[in-house]
Amino acid sequence: MPCKRLRITGVVQGVGYRAWAKRLADMLNVKGYVRNMDDGSVEMVVCADDNIINVMINAAKKGPAASVVKDVEVFDSDFVAKSEGFEIWM
């Protein structure tokens, strides 16, 4: 299963971004995680079929209503999901 790492910048912390990402990932049966980074960005790793990964990338560009997404960078990832679901990492 392919995985991509996303780095989301803008107003993305303190606006419910991680909870929103988890709800969407759970609906789409995506594996991976989302977490806040020290630099104010959010990191998300999504593991799924390519078309579902693209849905997550496009959704990440919009984010929840309270967010203001400036940019979403996408990188290949060799992450191996150890759980069955999508987790919020602290």
18 is catalytic: yes
User: Which of these, 13, 62, 57, 60, lies nearest to 35 by C-alpha position?
Assistant: 13
Q: How far is the C-alpha of 12 from the C-alpha of 35, rounded, in Å?
A: 11
Q: Active-site residue among 5, 7, 35, 36?
A: 36
5 is catalytic: no
Q: Active-site residue among 5, 18, 23, 35?
A: 18
Token output for 81: 């999901």
Active site residues: 18, 36
